[in-house]
Amino acid sequence: MEKGITFKPENYSPLVLAYMGDAYIELLTRAYIIGNGDCNPATLNTLAKDFVTANSQSEAVERMIPHLTEEETSVYKQGRNAKSNHSPKNAAALDYRRATGLECLFGYLFFAGRTERAAELFFIGFLQNRQV
């Protein structure tokens, strides 16, 4: 973030944080899968689905929750409980809400400049016990 701009989470709705968190998780995902070696874009998109679907994000939440601080848990719950006019097409409502909470948390971490913490949680949620 630009110097002099102070992040104030209260200035952002949970759904705006989730919007940014969705992009940030996508960026972390792409960096990870591209870092594993060069391959064609179709293969990359297939690999990315293990990270960016509501179901996979919901499962990642389960692994992350024990590692969240009180503040992070609060941000996650705000996103999870946010009312959206969007209804999930390919996911159970609970998975979709949990994924929104996760995206809210990652958006919050991005705006707060806590990229190391986001990378740590990404590892815990998506990579720690991953079978390659």
Q: Which of 22, 38, 50, 95 is catalytic?
A: 22
Q: How far apart are CA 28 and CA 24, in angstroms?
A: 6
Burial of 59 (0-12, 13-18, 19+ CB in 10 A): middle
Ramachandran bin of 57, using left for φ above 0, alpha for ψ from -120 to 50, beta for the remaining angles? alpha
Per the annotation, the verdict on 22 as an active-site residue is: yes
Residues that are catalytic: 22
